[in-house]
Homo-oligomer: A and B are copies of this chain.
Amino acid sequence: MEESPALTAMRNIASYILKAADEIDSNQIEELVETLVEIYKSNGGRKILVMGAGRSGLVGRAFAMRLMHLGFNVYVLGDTIVPSITDKDLVIAISGSGKTRLIVTAAEAAKAVGAKIAAITSFPESPLGKLADIVIRVPGRTKETFKMDDYFARQILGIHAPLAPLGTLFEDTTLILLDGIIYELMVKLGISEEEMRERHANIE
C-alpha cells in the first residue's frame, strides 16, 4: 500500500516547524523565559493568565497545563476559575493575526490594570503585538495572510500546494515552541519529570 496522504502532510507540517525554528528570535524567547523564571521565584505570589481564541486558545491551554505541572500559579481565560489580575501578573496572549477581537479586548483590559503582556503572534505590528511588552514572532500562515504565507511555505519547503488550512501552521508551530520553552524551564528551574507527574491531574 502507498503511504497515506495524511502521513505525507504530517511530514510536511513537521518539516515546516523544523524550519520555522530558524525564523524565531532567541532573544524574544529568552525575554519570556526570564519573566517566567522571575514569576516562579515569587512562589505563587505572581499569577499567569493564558488567553487565545479557537485553536490558538487550545495551544495556550496545553502550555498552561504544563506550567501548572512545573508549579506555576496559572489560569486560562475561559476556564470557570479565573482570578482577578493585578500589575504583578503576566498575561500570555496567542493570536496568529494579532487582531482577534476578543483577545485584543481582553489584553487591553489586562494592560489597563498594569499586567505585563506577552504576545505570541505572526505580526508584531498588529494591535496585539503593539500593546505587548514582550513579543515572540512565530511565522505561520494565518487566516489574514494565507497568500503571503503560501509564498513563505513555497520558499522554505519548495511545495506549491496549500500545506495546511487557515491558522494550522501558526498553531502547530506555536505548540511545539511552547513545549520547547517547557523543556528550558525544567532545566533552568531544576524541576524533574517526577515532580511534574506528581502535580498532574489524578482524577481523569
Q: Are A83 and B18 in contact (CB under 8 A)?
A: no
Q: Are A166 and B196 in contact (CB under 8 A)?
A: yes
Q: Are A166 and B203 in contact (CB under 8 A)?
A: no
Q: A4-B33, A33-B4 are in contact. Are A184 and B83 (CB under 8 A)?
A: no
Contact residues on A (Cβ < 8 Å of other chain), bracket: 35 or more
Which residue among A9, A62, A203 has the maximum number of chain B CB atoms within 10 Å of its CB?
Answer: A203
CB A174 to nearest CB in B, in angstroms, measures: 10
Bound form: Cα–Cα A80–B1 in Å: 36
Closest to A201 in B: B82
Closest to A74 in B: B81
List the one stretch of A22-30, A118-126, A127-135 in contact with chain B.
A22-30
Contacts of A132-159 to chain B: CB distance below 8 A: 143, 146
- Whether A40 is near chain B, meaning CB under 8 Å from some CB there, is no
List 21 A-B pairs, Cβ < 8 Å: A1-B26, A5-B183, A5-B187, A6-B180, A6-B183, A10-B21, A11-B21, A14-B21, A49-B203, A53-B204, A64-B80, A68-B83, A69-B165, A78-B78, A91-B203, A101-B109, A102-B106, A109-B202, A143-B197, A166-B196, A172-B175
